[in-house]
């Protein structure tokens, strides 16, 4: 069974500081990996994804993540935090299957707080 | 291009009642997945529908059921509501085909069971 562990339910940074949100996964097959952001009272928006190929993936709003198979990690980073980045962030994993069925398994989320 | 829409936005029910939540897929999509997000938790997969049939199911009891219609819209039905069913219910649509089917999420329906 697949699973995702997000270390730290809350992360606080100052505006302009580096953002690092940690995600470790467990999967018996090559995974697809995702980061989603959720603003209050809204649905999920895809930030970035890793499917195959380059292990460093760039997403929207200046975020990027690196797939490290040896560490089973997919940490999310942003060089300089902005006040508008304050939100809940979810890491998710899915099987690489071609049958059409895709189930996302989410972590418990990390709330990013950005102070002026 | 119209995104994923869900209705209603909020809903309050009492224990034992039944509820129906609705989802309209993004244009061009043929698959709908439903997720339950309890307060402070990540979304949990309920089930997925493709070609009007259940295509996969998570660890949810049979009182959670669904439908997909020819226009690819979908309903989630929950019978005999329990207090623990209080959550944000998210619908996601995608298109089966190719090696990866990105799921696009709607804004959710907030269900409160009293």
Q: What whole-number distance in Å separates Cα of residue B15 and Cα of residue B80?
A: 7
Q: What whole-number distance in Å separates Cα of residue B70 and Cα of residue B47?
A: 18
Q: How does pLDDT run across A21-52, given as a tens digit for each residue?
A: 999 999 878 789 999 999 987 889 999 999 88
Chain B residues touching A45 at Cβ < 8 A: 105
Nearest to B100 among A32, A43, A107 (CB): A32
Q: What whole-number distance in Å separates Cα of residue B26 and Cα of residue B32?
A: 10
The dihedral over CA atoms of A54, A85, B23, B80, expressed in degrees to the nearest 10, equals 110
Q: What whole-number distance in Å separates Cα of residue A72 and Cα of residue A57?
A: 15
Question: What single DSSP character describes residue B64?
Answer: E
Chain B residues touching A103 at Cβ < 8 A: 33, 45, 48, 56, 58
Three-class SS of residue A84?
Answer: helix
A103 contacts B40? CB cut-off 8 A: no
Task: State the distance between the two ends of chain B, measured CA to CA, in whole angstroms.
Answer: 37
Cα Rg for chain A, rounded, in angstroms? 14
Q: What whole-number distance in Å separates Cα of residue A39 and Cα of residue A47?
A: 12
Q: Residue length, chain B?
A: 114
Residue A98 has pLDDT above 60, yes or no: no
- Between A and B, how many residue pairs show a Cβ–Cβ distance under 8 A? 66
Q: What whole-number distance in Å separates Cα of residue B48 and Cα of residue B76?
A: 11
Residue B68 has pLDDT above 70, yes or no: yes
**Helices and strands in chain A: count of H runs, count of E runs:** 0, 11
Contact between A70 and A76 under an 8 Å Cβ cutoff? The reply is no
Q: What whole-number distance in Å separates Cα of residue A79 and Cα of residue B91?
A: 32
Residue B109 has pLDDT above 90, yes or no: yes
Q: Which two tokens stand for residue A2?
A: 């697949």
Q: Which two tokens stand for residue A22?
A: 């940690």
Task: State the distance between the two ends of chain A, measured CA to CA, in whole angstroms.
Answer: 41
B105 contacts A43? CB cut-off 8 A: yes
Name the band, by pLDDT with cuts 50, 70 and 90, for residue A100.
Answer: low
Q: How does pLDDT run across B17-61, given as a tens digit for each residue?
A: 999 999 999 888 889 999 999 998 999 999 999 889 998 899 999
What is the reported pLDDT for B99? Answer: 54
What is the reported pLDDT for B1? Answer: 59
Contact between B23 and B2 under an 8 Å Cβ cutoff? The reply is no
Chain B residues touching A32 at Cβ < 8 A: 100
């Amino acid at each position: 069974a697949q699973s995702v562990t997000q270390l730290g339910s809350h992360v606080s940074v100052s505006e302009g500081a580096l953002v690092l949100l940690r995600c470790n996964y467990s999967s018996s097959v090559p995974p697809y990996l995702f980061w989603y952001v959720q603003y209050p009272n809204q649905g999920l928006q895809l930030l970035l994804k890793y499917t195959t190929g380059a292990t460093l993936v760039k997403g929207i709003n200046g975020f990027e993540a690196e797939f490290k198979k040896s560490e089973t990690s997919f940490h999310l980073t942003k060089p300089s935090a902005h006040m508008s980045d304050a939100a809940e962030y979810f890491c998710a994993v899915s099987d690489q299957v071609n049958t059409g069925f895709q189930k996302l398994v989410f972590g418990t989320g990390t709330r990013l707080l950005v102070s002026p | 291009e119209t995104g994923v829409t869900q209705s209603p936005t909020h809903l309050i029910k009492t224990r034992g009642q039944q509820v129906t939540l609705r989802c309209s897929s993004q244009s061009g999509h043929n698959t709908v997945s439903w997720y339950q997000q309890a307060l402070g938790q990540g979304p949990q997969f309920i089930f997925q529908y493709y070609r009007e049939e259940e295509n996969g199911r998570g660890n949810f009891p049979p009182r959670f059921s669904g439908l997909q219609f020819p226009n690819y819209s979908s309903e989630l039905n929950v019978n005999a509501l329990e207090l623990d069913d209080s959550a944000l219910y998210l619908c996601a649509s995608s298109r089966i085909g190719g090696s990866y089917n990105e799921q696009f999420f709607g804004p959710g329906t907030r269900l409160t069971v009293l």
